[in-house]
Structure 1
Amino acid sequence: MYPNQPNPTNTNPNPFLVNQEDEIDLKVLLFNYLQYWPAILLCMFLGVLVAFFFNRYTTPVYKVESTILVVDDKPTLGADLFESAGLGIQGKSNIDNEMGILKSYSLAESTIQEMDLNVAYFQDDLFKPRQIYGNTPFYVSLDWNQAQLVGGLFRMEVLDNNTFELSIEEDAFSVFNPKDPFYKSRLENFSLPKSIYSFGEEIKGEFYHFTINLISGLPGEIYFFRMIDTPSLALSMRNDLQAAPLNKQAAILTLSMETPLRRLGENYINTLMEQYLKRELDEKNQASENTIRFIEQQLSGISDSLEYSESQLQEYRSKNRIFNLSQEGSLIFERLTELEKEKSQIQLNLKYLETLQSYLDNNQLGDLVAPAIVGVSDALLTSLVESLSELQADRARISATFNDQTPQMRDINSRIQSTSNALKENVRSAVQNSQNTLADVNSRIQMIERDINALPATERNLLSYTRQFTINENIYIYLLQKKAEAEITMASNMPKNKILDYAKAGQQPVAPKRSLNLLIGLILGLIIPIGFITVKDFLNTKIEDPKELEKAIKVPLISMIGRSMTEDNLPVLNNPRSTVTESFRSLRADMSYLSPNRDKFAVLFTSSISGEGKTFVSINMASVFSLMGKKTILIGLDLRKPKIAEDFGLPNDKGMSTALSSDISWKEVVKSTGHKDLDVILSGPIPPNPAELLLQDKFGKIIEEIKQAYDVVIFDCPPVGLVSETKELFSFADISFFVFRQGYSMKGNTEVLNNLVEKGGVSKIYGILNDVHIDKGYGYGYGYGYGYGYGGNSYGYHEEVQLPWWKRALRRRS
């Protein structure tokens, strides 16, 4: 085995070597990226710069937060009976439902209407208009009962204290129709009929009607405004609002929203919470309002009866000059009054029960009246009515957020239906009991009326008038008392939920996150160029990595030739201390191992295509052998595209084509290069049949004579991937080299070499990688003879004559 030649049967168990290979790959990868370090640094700087300007000119966004306490209701009397009966009546507030109510569209709508947010005002700024809130320099009043333009942006320039110029800044208008508020139609190419208006002047059109009033704007100032319809704004604000429990155990909700206008966010959340509590209080007062309305209906009838009975009593007393009952009549009257009072109470209760039954039958659950307020003392009935009222109120609140098909609505509808059925059954039973009680009282009244018949007619009539007046008076006083109690109850009602903390905006913005944005800009500035380089290398079809080439070819990769830093193609002769010269010396040293015990030998150089540097390698290998005193001849066999003559500055007037096509001896075409021990046979004039010339027997005889006359014979052959005659030339060489060029040769060219070995039967052929770029980091640790140092790190071993920087850049791109 030759040095550096891989042995497929040799498996090295030493793990240190494996780690060394991994280290080499990482080093190569690092150098591949480091060669683009100016571009990477520039991208990182640009990334940080973009992030800086983004932080500088992005409108800061603040987080506004508040907290609200959701208080659990106390269980009503008899609730345990309902739960044991399977009615599922719940006394506790549902946190999820309260969150849904706070984020409901209807609550957002009422909040917006309360705050008058339908016009957004903007001030002229550096890049785009900046929204302002609060002390606006002008005010726009609209009539939302008419069609209005929404969505687009108006521009207003104050001309003086009386006039302004109005124009369109963003033409993205839609028409809001109050008859169909949730569906707007797009308006294309809208324009105003004129541009100069007076403050306070009505600006009317088919799709707009508004007035602009000046508050504090100064002449020359420019402002903008946008009209937003309530449905769109309510949907937007609802989506911006976040509601979440403070923690899993606490019944405290946190309301928050992120907005660039801190004062607007604070006012909106505070107004939202007030509307939420107001809505809850209105629902709680609904029962008291129903009771007052029921009592007022009863009072309207009994007041007429009371007035009529009072006038009859007074008229009878005046006419008959009798004012007081006898002792016997007074006793009878007292007994009768008690029974009549009891009868009136029973009749009032019965009327309430019949009204309640009618509400239940007609599904008028919103008009329920609390039983206790009219004197009904049935605990179960009272609890059922209160529970049904609460369920109905909860349903009204939840319906603002959920539709009838959601589990929440189906659950509460089921509980309302169960409670309603139980209440209907209880009311039917109460009506029957009241009717029985009323019949009993009527029978006792009839017994007393028999004693009344025994009294004198005058006293009997007086007792009748007094009895009627007393009955109406007691009922009237009783109803007034109950009405006062209901009004006191309504006045004392308070929302069960409470505001703990009013909205407060944070002092520091939550966006943009300045440090994070700078870090992201820096990372993106690093990742983008590295990603681009990685993709570029992944899609690259050229040979770059020597180890990849070594794995791809079936023969050893014997050497790597570095990139020459000069335009001279003879660095071995003209710059003997360069790193490129040293790499040729290293390859010359390897020749003694590749062809041992031989003083004379022939070396062939070829490649797959033109431009891979085989002529450059051939010339310098011939030069390096001549420097050690060996008589060397370089033969140019590329009869189609000769190049050697240009490098040595010789005329290509005669050469190998001349010797093969005429009777001229090969010795007559040998030319001196001007360097000791180095001769050259040029390819000569281009013949019409180069393949046939090289395949004739005469060529073989010439080569044999040359080998006898010279110690080292170097063949510069045409590319084997392009012409056919090169395959016949391998038999004349003792050692053959296949030249690849880094960054130029295609990866598929390795198959040309592999086919020569596997199918062509070519033996003793080796690979050479030419033009290895130092800045790519390849060559370190491979042991292929790439010199001892590079550039400024050569430690005095080599002297480099470098091209100007712009020529080096062009060579890197070539």
Structure 2
Amino acid sequence: METQRNTTNDLSGLTIRDIFFKYVRFLPVFLVSVALSLLAAYLYLRYTTPIYRATGTITFISDKSRSGDKFNEIFIANQTNDIEAEMEVLRSSSLMERVVTKAKLQTNYYAVGKIKSLNIYGSNPFELVINKIKDSSRYFSLNVDFLNQGEFRINNEKQVYKTGDTFENVYGVFKITKPENTIVGKEYNVSWTPARMLAPTYAGMIRVSPRVAGSMIHNISIDISNPALGIDIVNNLIDEYQIVNIEYRNKTTAQTLDFIGDRLKILEKDLDSVEGKLLSFRQQYDIIDMDVQSKNYFDIVSQADKQVNEERVSLKVIDLIEEYLSDKNNRYEKVPSSLGINNEVFQKLIGEYNLKVVERKTLIDGGAKLQNVAIKNLENQIEETRLDIFEALKNSRKLYQTIIDDVTVKGVSARSELKFLPQKTKELLEIEREKDIKQTLYKLLLQKREETAMSKASTIPNSKILSYAVANSSPIKPNRKGIQLLAFILGLGLPAMFIFFIEIINDKINTRYDIEKITDASILGEVGHSYSSSSMVVSKTNRSMVAEQFRIVRSNLQYVLNKIEKPVILVTSSFSGEGKSFVTSNLGGVMALAGKKTVILEFDIRKPKLISGLKLKVTNGITSFLVGKARPEELPIKVPGFDNLFVIGCGPVPPNPSELLLDSRVEELFSWLKNNFDAVVIDTAPVGMVSDAMTLGIFSDATLYIVRQGHTYKKQVALIDEFYRENKLPKI
């Protein structure tokens, strides 16, 4: 049952109308808050330095289209892969330092106002010429106060200078120049910051972001108070980035060229050394062409062997001829032909010998005797010729032997060369291999040098400028509409949050909803605050809001009483001060105005206020009757201005009110009242403090429980819910 009720309470909520009326009473607070917020927004917009955005656009060149062509590779080598790294370069302090130095941004000019100073870069009416800075590593500033268009003071010093005069101070030697017909203001501030100190500030303001996610096109922007300064920073940054990129690539290329040049010099020396070694080797071993020479050596050996064999055959022939001539049986026989002996003297002697042998044989065949003188002469001549032939053969033998020896030596020499030829070939091949390696490397380096030179000649940045910087015509900060809207929202939101917070921490009843979410007891009506000095606000002629609200309560009460002819209505509350007596008096009044004879009982015996509130004279009351000192008919007092309204006071305050209410005469009193009046309204003590109301509840037909806005605690409404659910009081 309790769970179901709590669920119902949770589901019930405030309507838009409830919320409106909940907060509309704070309308002046909201109006003041909105006005103050808008005023603060106006002052903020008026005196805040506007921020402008200068934006330029570049595109990085990708190498995704790299081809295999060597020439294209040389040129495409200038392209970039790591976009994030390039973005960091653009945001680096070192690059910004170059920008500051190139654009001479170390000097800044400010027009000094009453509240703020404005950077007047690009529109400064004068120029500070720096002749000498004593310490270029420190920041300094100069306050320039112009007395007139031609005279000024520096840093509030007494000395007055004229434009064009050179002056010196602790920072250095300077001069201020001003173009003719240029109007200057009263006060300016000129600051000078070293590039290395200023660069991190500007670098931190640079933003690099892709125009479209994933594209190579990037925006380079800066948010700054002076749009002209922002444009110059971005434009110089783009230019310096490309210059730095080219310088870096050219530096790399120059280092490559230097390396290649050094290597070429070393290789030239190595090649000279190897070629000298090769030449010495060839000269030492008479090597011209190893293959040809090898063939020649083989030919020499072959020819030598052949010639030796031929000459030995000739020697054999000589031996045969000598043997033939030495044989006595062949003394007068013809000698065979020379048999391949190439000796003219020998051939001639053989011919003479054979001719004389033939002459002798012819003489003998012709019948001449051996003793014939002619035959003897021929024999002597044949003998002499034979001896000459032996001598010629002897000489030929020597000749052939010499030839054999010479040829043999040549053959041995050739064989010796062939024997050492593999080792020489190996050494020659090693020398030639070393030469070929160095020559190949030398040619490669020559090629690389030409390619690197071409690359250096073709060096281009790895980015392309799509557009130089332009600044927004209107500032991006502060956002005027946004600030005003925010101020309006804060003007409404802050008091709403404050009120809401107060509502959260407030543990008292403030709205009808606060009651309904705690208890299911019916709310009979709501009565506003009365500013009247009298506690009785209802009358025949009064049509005020409070009076009408009591009439509404009277009407709603009919549904609770359910046609009870002479109702007894109990009025109670949680504690004193909630308006219980006020409600009781006026409730009795509206019932009396309805034509019912009504009596109001002042049963709040401990702190009676009803009689005094009606400004009636204190007489015998309820306690007088209960102690037997008065009769019932002596108690009612007629209320002035009402025909049917009576009131019975409390009487003397007893020391034991709770016990007194338990007396049987109380029942006797109520019996008499029902017989003599049409309606009875009981003003009892607060039920949250004493038990009087519960004691009198047995005589009541209905209970009105008073809850006062801003006074009754929410936890006390839980007491109402307990009485309602457990029927401890009749028809709450």
Q: Pick the TM interval, shorter chain.
A: 0.5 to 0.7
Deviation at 1:589, TM superposition (A): 4.2
Cα RMSD over matched residues?
4.6
Deviation at 1:28, TM superposition (A): 0.9
**Does 2:718 correspond to 1:751?**
yes
Indicate how the Cα distance of structure 1 residues 654 and 117 shifts in structure 2: closer, same or farther if over 3 A, else same: farther
**Does 2:683 correspond to 1:716?**
yes
Tell me, in whole angstroms, the C-alpha distance in 2 between the residues paired with 1:551 and 1:69: 65
SS in 1 for 2:498: helix
Deviation at 1:678, TM superposition (A): 1.4
**Does 2:224 correspond to 1:264?**
no
1:117-147: CA deviations, max 9, x gaps? Answer: 2333211224211111135334274967737
Match of 1:740 among 707, 710, 716: 707
Match of 2:596 in 1: 630
SS in 2 for 1:63: strand
What are the within-5 Å matches in structure 2 for residues 577-726 of structure 1? 577-596=543-562, 598-660=564-626, 663-674=629-640, 675-726=642-693
SS in 2 for 1:521: helix
Tell me, in whole angstroms, the C-alpha distance in 2 between the residues paired with 1:554 and 1:730: 20
SS in 2 for 1:501: strand
| Letter in structure 2 aligned against 1:748 | K
Tell me, in whole angstroms, the C-alpha distance in 2 between the residues paired with 1:555 and 1:126: 67
Deviation at 1:65, TM superposition (A): 2.0
Match of 1:63 among 53, 56, 68: 53
Indicate how the Cα distance of structure 1 residues 42 and 446 shifts in structure 2: closer, same or farther if over 3 A, else same: farther
Deviation at 1:238, TM superposition (A): 0.9
Match of 1:237 in 2: 202
Match of 2:374 in 1: none
Tell me, in whole angstroms, the C-alpha distance in 1 between the residues paired with 2:89 and 2:68: 23
Q: Which segments of 5 or more consecutive residues in structure 1 lack a partner in the other structure? A: 1-5, 83-88, 168-193, 291-365, 378-426, 451-481, 767-814
Tell me, in whole angstroms, the C-alpha distance in 1 between the residues paired with 2:73 and 2:458: 29
Match of 1:164 in 2: 153
Match of 2:258 among 369, 393, 407: 369
1:500-558: CA deviations, max 9, x gaps? Answer: 43322233332333333333333333333333333332333222332441342354333
Match of 1:549 among 492, 495, 515: 515
Match of 1:255 among 220, 226, 248: 220
Indicate how the Cα distance of structure 1 residues 113 and 732 shifts in structure 2: closer, same or farther if over 3 A, else same: same
Tell me, in whole angstroms, the C-alpha distance in 2 between the residues paired with 1:710 and 1:250: 95
Tell me, in whole angstroms, the C-alpha distance in 2 between the residues paired with 1:592 and 1:68: 85
Higher radius of gyration, 1 or 2: 2
What are the within-5 Å matches in structure 2 for residues 209-224 of structure 1? 211=174, 213=176, 215=178, 221-224=186-189
Tell me, in whole angstroms, the C-alpha distance in 1 between the residues paired with 2:721 and 2:621: 32
**Does 2:2 correspond to 1:35?**
no
Match of 1:337 in 2: none
Match of 1:108 among 92, 96, 99: 96
Identical aligned residues as a percent: 26
Indicate how the Cα distance of structure 1 residues 80 and 633 shifts in structure 2: closer, same or farther if over 3 A, else same: same
Tell me, in whole angstroms, the C-alpha distance in 1 between the residues paired with 2:597 and 2:71: 119
Tell me, in whole angstroms, the C-alpha distance in 1 between the residues paired with 2:610 and 2:214: 91
Equivalent residues of 1:148, 1:209 under 8 A apart: no
Equivalent residues of 2:575, 2:688 under 8 A apart: yes
| Letter in structure 2 aligned against 1:522 | F
Match of 1:274 among 239, 244, 255: 239
Equivalent residues of 1:69, 1:497 under 8 A apart: yes
**Number of residue pairs the alignment of both structures matches:** 559
**Does 2:128 correspond to 1:139?**
yes
Equivalent residues of 1:287, 1:369 under 8 A apart: no
**Does 2:85 correspond to 1:120?**
no
Q: What TM-score, normalized to structure 1?
A: 0.59
Match of 1:530 in 2: 496
What are the within-5 Å matches in structure 2 for residues 250-649 of structure 1? 251-286=216-251, 366=255, 369=258, 371=260, 436-437=274-275, 439-440=277-278, 495=461, 497-553=463-519, 555-564=521-530, 566=532, 568-596=534-562, 598-649=564-615
Equivalent residues of 2:599, 2:679 under 8 A apart: yes
Indicate how the Cα distance of structure 1 residues 542 and 250 shifts in structure 2: closer, same or farther if over 3 A, else same: closer
1:252-291: CA deviations, max 9, x gaps? Answer: 4432212221221122222223322332333344367x5x
Indicate how the Cα distance of structure 1 residues 251 and 703 shifts in structure 2: closer, same or farther if over 3 A, else same: closer
Deviation at 1:237, TM superposition (A): 1.0
Equivalent residues of 2:530, 2:546 under 8 A apart: yes
Tell me, in whole angstroms, the C-alpha distance in 2 between the residues paired with 1:445 and 1:484: 37
Q: What TM-score, normalized to structure 2?
A: 0.65
Match of 1:797 in 2: none
Deviation at 1:494, TM superposition (A): 5.3
| Letter in structure 1 aligned against 2:18 | V
Tell me, in whole angstroms, the C-alpha distance in 2 between the residues paired with 1:259 and 1:737: 71
Tell me, in whole angstroms, the C-alpha distance in 2 between the residues paired with 1:211 and 1:234: 24
Tell me, in whole angstroms, the C-alpha distance in 2 between the residues paired with 1:594 and 1:483: 112
Tell me, in whole angstroms, the C-alpha distance in 2 between the residues paired with 1:117 and 1:28: 63
| Letter in structure 2 aligned against 1:721 | G
| Letter in structure 1 aligned against 2:646 | D
Q: Which segments of 5 or more consecutive residues in structure 2 lack a partner in the other structure? A: 289-447
Deviation at 1:634, TM superposition (A): 0.8
Equivalent residues of 1:67, 1:254 under 8 A apart: yes
Deviation at 1:597, TM superposition (A): 5.6
1:416-448: CA deviations, max 9, x gaps? Answer: xxxxxxxxxxx99x9977854564466679999
Deviation at 1:715, TM superposition (A): 1.0
Tell me, in whole angstroms, the C-alpha distance in 1 between the residues paired with 2:175 and 2:684: 91
Deviation at 1:608, TM superposition (A): 0.5
Equivalent residues of 1:76, 1:91 under 8 A apart: no
Equivalent residues of 1:158, 1:222 under 8 A apart: yes
Tell me, in whole angstroms, the C-alpha distance in 2 between the residues paired with 1:257 and 1:149: 26
Tell me, in whole angstroms, the C-alpha distance in 1 between the residues paired with 2:687 and 2:451: 114
Deviation at 1:52, TM superposition (A): 4.0
Equivalent residues of 2:560, 2:731 under 8 A apart: no
| Letter in structure 2 aligned against 1:222 | E
SS in 2 for 1:604: strand
| Letter in structure 1 aligned against 2:519 | I
Tell me, in whole angstroms, the C-alpha distance in 2 between the residues paired with 1:156 and 1:721: 79
Match of 1:476 in 2: none
SS in 1 for 2:707: strand
Indicate how the Cα distance of structure 1 residues 147 and 765 shifts in structure 2: closer, same or farther if over 3 A, else same: farther
